[in-house]
Structure 1
């Protein structure tokens, strides 16, 4: 009874959060950043390091290792020609973060740090997620052109329940680890997304941009990390606030394309739900906190009965903001392969310098915080790993014990009776 009451109370709390989010209101007020997103500060790049001639070769090599688009020679050329600050900032923006020296020894290969959980065994040939879900009438991925186009999906009945259970479970665990739950917007100024490290200007971008008729330059957020970082712009944090830990549930929008067979089905989609962790801390804390984020992800996935490996990613897989990044790849028995479930990154002061996020030191000086982020639960890939791992010979799905409290007592997911759906084919008009 005690567990049930806890679950019901937590459920009411989370439902309230969704209501607030739909009204565009933050559940947790960030009093240090009450101004609007559009008032972004000027970035404060590490000029002493980047513009030091003796560092040019190191920076250039780092850019090449990370397959970045920055050009440190052009930065120094602009400096020597006394170019405007705006022109200089355009080039400084492209320079990626430094790389953890440990990572440099990996070359182009990820390093396996450890393997967790038991490899599932079956006395039958395990099916792929799509086959399981369609046989049980749990998902719709075809003929959605009239709704949202390709790489979309619709979860039905018990699979939608499983999605909510994963969110409840994850948030509950994070709150117990002193994360503050907040609600974030999914539409952001494009400048915020750029300052968090996403490349916007390329011909092929992952960012969905809104038509300018809707107002200023706006885009759909790819992760809650961007909204939280943007809301903390110009923040002045005290030592007793650090480390500052946030958790958020949001929709993520990514204009990704892939023809790789391993990324079929709902493995790579244009929009999905994700629970994100975001932390601000003192610079000397960030390496330990990255390991803490990794441990949280490991615990979350082990408790769901998943088998996975933890990878320390090589330089070319870091993206522009990350100093170091760990990926977790889960075993998907139906596919007979590992697939990425989550990652966590230490971005050091890359984002805080671009968004002016600082803390007051013991000497009453202002320094940039270090920011870190981690995926606690990305729904589509978690569903693939869970359903394939916990499938039965009859084609049903066993609900992991940790999720039972959020599934209203349902221990197994079987074929459900749902009203049929009418498929609507989109016919383009011919002029």
Structure 2
């Protein structure tokens, strides 16, 4: 019988091969194959129902509202692997591998439901202009104790508490890093094994909250793959140490939420950053910023895809609530860290850690595209001493975000009208279920008094 080792390896057992597709919610689904069957994968002979990518957060295909499952016979699609994403699974028996794939119809076209295909289609629009987006992600997540199934809620690992209470804020606190050093070492070992471009790991505000930065790539699809793989290895490393990792946007009401920040620039065919202001007025940088701000409310459902996501948008927090921009200002929705040189870029700070990285990058790059088509004005800059008046706001309401998404021409253009309807209808069901659910807050607050 295989034994678990603290270095994250499994001593024995047969290796396995996993072919994975990405679901609507950034979840991984697919097939686990025995050794010696990899040829079927590379030949494109693996099949899965196309409806697999229409499943909601509960795993329901919602055929009654989408008509994409049994109504049409629940047809198969071809699962075509992307060799670039082939990576070892260091938590599994030696020799185990995983590969990401894209769902295709039998006529060879990508499924309209596949998040990887949606992002690829946006990248193709840049390529048609002779341009390439360059992106990097910064993922925040919490590590919690492993007894969450029994307690029904998360709590910090014991090494970060005193008599069950958190030890206070841990921002950049190396003692918090030291307290979970074994876990973080395993995470880094897994990242190295998968050749992920992981850079710094830092302790964030909340107890057990960490951020891992991934270096930029001139390949948006690969950058999204990196982010998804990072989420998986964070969870696998946690399991190895009897812990739990979570990318919920707001796992604790009293602690900071977790974000997924995206840095993005654009290079031309000669590798030059076209956002570089070269010491002058950053007109193009401002224009793509305006494009992002103009489309932000329409795409908020992508940035905040669940009911829990909206608990993160709190006034006075680092999660933005206004459609603002600023140079180096971490309280704004769009931050401009640099306007000159190869590092000129925007930082998009709205999305939660729960966002699907493929849909997230598609929405961001799509918004930037609108800024390439004309000289748009992002409005007044937000500074620590100046907050523009009458600034538009993001919504704090899940159902409102759903309705804005469902009627947006921008969303229909970037994601396709069919995916807009599928995603919007599925999320509307989730939002209504949340609205109808009577919570502990209701009972605790109202039952004794009303």
TM-score by length of 1: 0.29
